Amino acid sequence: MGMELNQSDILNPMKVLNDWMKEVSNDGKQPNPNCFSIATTNREGSSNARMVLCKEIDIEDGYIVFYTNYNSTKAIELDYQSECSGVFHWDNYGYQVRIKGFALKSPRDESDDYFLSRSLGSQVAAWASEQSNSIGNRKDLEKQFDATLKKFNIKQKQLMENDQKLPRPPFWGGYRIWIHEIEIWLNQNDRFHDRLLFQRDLSLKDGRYISTKGWIKKRLQP
Ligand SMILES: Cc1cc2nc3c(=O)[nH]c(=O)nc-3n(C[C@H](O)[C@H](O)[C@H](O)COP(=O)(O)O)c2cc1C
């Protein structure tokens, strides 16, 4: 990407998101270059934001994927209101990407495959945590971890060796956020930044969102 955003050069904004994330990841300076915030809405209409990790970007179909606990607060809120929004920000590069979209649970086999790729310790942790529920203290939480080790007959040293796999918990998996709006933002001098907004209509068909007309773009003032 050059020093400015050229409207006519960018046909698919998802490719910019992918390129920027690759660039930051390849530099290796940021521990979680794939993190982004996701804001959900609860029944009372108030918003709720937190960071998650983007594990896939589908440039052609226009969705991104993150994984979480399906009983968590965010999952309950997404069940109620699937429309959500998010922000990626890479400060060292002057990049910001904002998204709005509809969240749908990932296909089960995709969540299975991703869960299999995780370390044994992370797999145990996914089973051991009732994400977003309260617990008395850290010790009680560790007891739940130990109880999970016992349940699956895993010895502590196997965690280091990482040579065993667990099945995916039914309450854990991915969400695809099908993006209908994405803004690419590039830092410029004097706070006179570049902003390109891309929008498309989406309709739900057979568990996927499709767009017939594709992305419409406009430049926004900084
Ligand atoms: C950098 C970073 C990455 C995170 N990635 C995830 C993630 O991929 N999935 C997840 O469920 N929580 C992730 N978390 C934790 C969430 O921010 C949040 O604490 C948790 O999901 C519970 O949110 P909820 O109670 O609103 O559902 C991450 C936190 C940070 C700081």
Instruction: Find the CATH number of the domain harbouring 29.
Output: 2.30.110.10
Q: Tell whether 146 is covered by a domain.
A: no
Span 187-200, pLDDT tens digits: 999 999 999 999 99
Q: Going by CA atoms, what residue is nearest to atom 28 of ligand 1?
A: 52
Q: Tell whether 41 is covered by a domain.
A: yes
**Containing structural domain, residue 44:** 13-119+171-220
Q: Which atom of ligand 1 is nearest to the CA of 32?
A: 1
Q: Tell whether 148 is covered by a domain.
A: no
Note whether 50 and 38 are within 8 A (CB).
yes
Taking alpha carbons only, the member of 86, 92, 87 closest to residue 24 is 92
Q: Tell whether 205 is covered by a domain.
A: yes
User: What's the domain count of the chain?
Assistant: 1
Q: Environment class of residue 164 by beta-carbon count within 10 Å: exposed (0-12), middle (13-18) or buried (19+)?
A: middle
Q: Tell whether 34 is covered by a domain.
A: yes
CA distance 175 to 70: 9
Backbone phi and psi for residue 55, each to the nearest 5 degrees, phi listed first: -100, -10
The pLDDT of residue 99 is: 98
The pLDDT of residue 152 is: 96
Question: How remote is the CA of residue 51 from the centroid of ligand 1, in Å?
Answer: 5
* pLDDT < 70 regions, the chain: 1-2
Q: Tell whether 129 is covered by a domain.
A: no
What is the number of other CB atoms lying within 10 angstroms of the CB of residue 115?
A: 20
Q: Tell whether 143 is covered by a domain.
A: no
Is 49 a pocket residue for ligand 1 (Cβ < 6 Å)?
A: no
Q: Choose the residue to mutate in 46, 64, 68 for probing ligand 1, maximizing ligand atoms within 8 Å of C-beta.
A: 68
pTM of the model: 0.97
CB under 8 Å to 215, separation ≥6 — which residues? 11, 12, 13, 198, 199, 200
The pLDDT of residue 2 is: 52
The pLDDT of residue 161 is: 86
